[in-house]
Structure 1
């Protein structure tokens, strides 16, 4: 009887208007040429960097009996190929991930308005918030599936080329890292959906999202360096005294950028020997044992960064939600 109730609950849930809209969004993304082109680009670039990294560490793995000490599967993400021919996986995913989120959300709402389908959808007995929630949820499902598929591909290629299975520690670290990448892309997805609500033309919302991405990727670090450098005293002795303070200021300003937050998360998760974020004094370094941290200790270090990205994503989506719920829909 309980099994029948559970199956009936699943059937009712799958047939609810919200999940019908989510399924429609997933189907639209999978069948769109734009998404398939981006998926092929991401797959080809990531497979190239992964294969180059795997071949460069294959000789190291052949001389050991276990990858537990070297964390070979974590090095796959962080090392480049021979002679630096291809950047590492983390470089590609940090560059192409935001573009994927922007591409999947920049015309989420304004395309419905321009095609005169938004009024038709809202004329159905469907709550208005179901539409924007389904847009975000369906796109997030597709993003998570693509990222997890890349993770499965990494482990498959690693086992075939290296010949050593990953340890449980490596598996957990890679899984958590992939979930952080999904959260990072979700921020850009929420931002692009916000722009699709604010701007009528899809090209304007797409250019706005790309402009924000370029600002944080290229110009933000330059601006922060100029501000902190200009605030430093000219006297060399005073500069030495305030060097740690200026470094803390620079780190604080840089942590306003989602790109810097994901870089810190990546560093701690994929480098178990990384014990802290920010400047370390000689007194703090004295007596420290150079041993790798466990996954729980690494998560303790990065939890402010994780909640920072989550907060940015939540704020962007809540602003988009509030504006969409207050907008007047006209034919």
Structure 2
């Protein structure tokens, strides 16, 4: 009987694990999806658009960073790297505002034809004829998309930190780094909502063009038309503010904000603004009694996360709901050649 040494046993175990990972269907599908997404023209165009937006925002922020840093009236003036993401001279919106418009397009482009394109081409039938679990197909679509999105935004964050270090020569503080990482996580969750929504629509509709138009329609509705509808409804339903007390006005303002927060873009805007501006202490209306005696000073990162936790929970709940419904429809669908 041949006795293996400890080194030979470890090498043999490592080779077996590598072979097992090599033929793992889920890992193979994830690598295939990542390769298809990265080499597609739509992803390259959106990547170029986001890089140009990022470069323009960083250029404007870097041009105004000295003015923002020397403005002692601003309680957030000492957060240099946060100013790179939020400072602007008015010529274009800040980077987080631009992300509220561009990030959904990235998620929609990566998921609107995730299932229906493969079903129309017949590759989905051949794929499911293999010893592969059906839920692995859907999980691979979502996991690969989130992996690409996370890699993209983490790379942009590293570029921002490197550019800030080269331009200013000031090292980043731990509190700023935590806030930047929290902003990246919130952005990834926001894109993940539209990714799961587009995958759901790719299952619900047979044609990729139909699912793409529906996803874009949902994005345009919540971005453009939903605030207009809410404003028109408020003017028609709510009474005249001149006849209301201060407590009633605060109550109506809180109700209006709650209705506006039904839109994913509003949730992302509230959470990203709070994280990038540490002096924000509340996302709702405050009375004069609550403001009296308050000293404008930055909040710790923990308290800012407590403020934005409802918004982040809403985005997570929407993403999970869309993916759960997509999972239910896909598992019950009869797929034929």
TM over 0.5: yes
- RMSD of aligned residue pairs (Cα, Å): 2.3
How has the CA–CA distance of structure 1 residues 317 and 284 changed in structure 2, closer, same or farther, with 3 Å as cutoff? same
Matched with 2:216 is 210
Higher mean C-alpha deviation, range 1-10 or range 194-203:
1-10
Asked if structure 2 preserves the Cα contact closer than 8 Å seen for 1:228 and 1:249, the reply is: no
Asked if structure 2 preserves the Cα contact closer than 8 Å seen for 1:228 and 1:246, the reply is: no
Q: Does 1:316 align with 2:322?
A: yes
Q: For residue 237 of structure 1, report the CA deviation from its aligned partner.
A: 2.3
Provide the rounded CA distance (Å) in 1 between the counterparts of 2:312 and 2:185.
10
Gaps spanning 5+ residues in structure 1: where?
A: none
How has the CA–CA distance of structure 1 residues 62 and 231 changed in structure 2, closer, same or farther, with 3 Å as cutoff? closer
How do 1:162-241 residues align onto structure 2 when only pairs under 5 Å count? 162-234=168-240, 236-238=242-244
TM-score (norm 1): 0.93
Provide the rounded CA distance (Å) in 2 between the counterparts of 1:8 and 1:68.
54
Provide the rounded CA distance (Å) in 1 between the counterparts of 2:46 and 2:197.
19
How has the CA–CA distance of structure 1 residues 63 and 69 changed in structure 2, closer, same or farther, with 3 Å as cutoff? closer
How has the CA–CA distance of structure 1 residues 141 and 235 changed in structure 2, closer, same or farther, with 3 Å as cutoff? closer
Q: For residue 61 of structure 1, report the CA deviation from its aligned partner.
A: 5.1
Higher mean C-alpha deviation, range 164-173 or range 104-113:
164-173
Matched with 2:163 is 157
SS at match of 1:328: coil
Matched with 2:26 is 18
Provide the rounded CA distance (Å) in 2 between the counterparts of 1:206 and 1:142.
20
Q: Does 1:273 align with 2:279?
A: yes
Superimposed CA distance per residue, residues 126-175 of structure 1 (whole angstroms, 9 cap, x where no aligned partner): 00010010000001100111111110111111111122121111111001
Q: For residue 91 of structure 1, report the CA deviation from its aligned partner.
A: 2.0
How do 1:1-331 residues align onto structure 2 when only pairs under 5 Å count? 12-13=20-21, 15-58=23-66, 70-81=78-89, 84-234=90-240, 236-238=242-244, 242-331=248-337
Q: For residue 60 of structure 1, report the CA deviation from its aligned partner.
A: 5.6
Asked if structure 2 preserves the Cα contact closer than 8 Å seen for 1:46 and 1:89, the reply is: yes
TM-score (norm 2): 0.91
How has the CA–CA distance of structure 1 residues 244 and 90 changed in structure 2, closer, same or farther, with 3 Å as cutoff? same
Gaps spanning 5+ residues in structure 2: where?
A: 1-5
Which structure has the greater CA radius of gyration?
2
Asked if structure 2 preserves the Cα contact closer than 8 Å seen for 1:26 and 1:142, the reply is: yes
Provide the rounded CA distance (Å) in 1 between the counterparts of 2:306 and 2:93.
29
Q: For residue 223 of structure 1, report the CA deviation from its aligned partner.
A: 1.2
Asked if structure 2 preserves the Cα contact closer than 8 Å seen for 1:18 and 1:134, the reply is: yes
Higher mean C-alpha deviation, range 284-293 or range 102-111:
284-293
How has the CA–CA distance of structure 1 residues 77 and 11 changed in structure 2, closer, same or farther, with 3 Å as cutoff? farther
Asked if structure 1 preserves the Cα contact closer than 8 Å seen for 2:76 and 2:277, the reply is: no
Q: For residue 59 of structure 1, report the CA deviation from its aligned partner.
A: 5.5
Superimposed CA distance per residue, residues 222-253 of structure 1 (whole angstroms, 9 cap, x where no aligned partner): 11122222222247223655211110110111
SS at match of 2:244: helix
How has the CA–CA distance of structure 1 residues 247 and 3 changed in structure 2, closer, same or farther, with 3 Å as cutoff? farther
Higher mean C-alpha deviation, range 50-59 or range 6-15:
6-15
Superimposed CA distance per residue, residues 45-98 of structure 1 (whole angstroms, 9 cap, x where no aligned partner): 11111111112114665999xx996201111111224xx223211122111100
How has the CA–CA distance of structure 1 residues 63 and 247 changed in structure 2, closer, same or farther, with 3 Å as cutoff? closer
Provide the rounded CA distance (Å) in 1 between the counterparts of 2:19 and 2:226.
49
Provide the rounded CA distance (Å) in 1 between the counterparts of 2:247 and 2:167.
51
